[in-house]
Amino acid sequence: MEAEMDNQIDAILGLGTNLGDREGFLKMAVEHLSNLGKVTRTSSLYETPAWGYEDSKSYLNQVVVLKTSLTPSLLFKEIKAIESAAGRVVSRVSDNYEARTLDIDILFFGDTILHSHDLIIPHPRLQLRKFVLVPLVEILPDFPHPELHRSAAQLLERCPDDSEIKKYS
């Protein structure tokens, strides 16, 4: 089993859900993530349309910062277990986007750049997605993308996504 890291690193995670008790799934995710380290920041919840496919059910999205001593691959494994506990079923029939009870993406892991078969950090499409960038900019507007060399706020300014992102109340 892969060992934990000696130092704690800020993992920036994107959470999303559009099935079932959306607020409940996000709350459950943050609670479970707290068992993997310390959740130090959470954005507001945002209601967003489906991205990459058509769906009548809107998403709730949130960005959280988790200070953790886990390695990226061990964190990824734990995230998959949290998604599974929320009832997420990943379709093996298609690589297309689909509705889900819970999706957790590692957006950043400190300034780590990782390209492996199972995991790419920073998340390869975050600069294209307002549903990630809007909550990210709320809590970390100056966070630098280690590959694109732009802050989160600069990425949002240049984002081609024209989706309507609304704060959820």
Write out pLDDT tens, residues 62-118: 999 999 999 999 999 999 999 988 876 765 554 556 678 899 999 999 999 999 998
φ and ψ of 64, to 5 deg? -130, 150
150 band by pLDDT with thresholds 50, 70 and 90: very high
- Using the 8-state DSSP alphabet, how is residue 128 labeled? G
Q: List the single range of 6-10, 35-39, 80-84, 112-116 with lowest mean pLDDT.
A: 6-10
Cα(167)–Cα(146) distance, integer angstroms: 28
- pLDDT of 45 > 90? The answer is yes
Cα(79)–Cα(81) distance, integer angstroms: 5
To the nearest 10 degrees (0 to 180), the angle between helices 72-85 and 22-34 is 140
| Closest among 68, 142, 78, 79 to 110, alpha carbons compared | 68
pLDDT value of position 7: 85
Catalytic residue numbers, as ranges: 88, 100, 103, 105
Residue pair 66/38 in contact (Cβ under 8 Å)? The answer is yes
Prediction pTM value: 0.90
Instruction: Kindly list the distances between the CA atom of residue 140 and the CA atoms of 71, 80, 83, in Å, as whole numbers in the listed order.
Output: 22, 25, 25
CATH 3.30.70.560 describes domain 9-167: yes
pLDDT value of position 4: 57
pLDDT value of position 86: 86
Residue pair 115/100 in contact (Cβ under 8 Å)? The answer is no
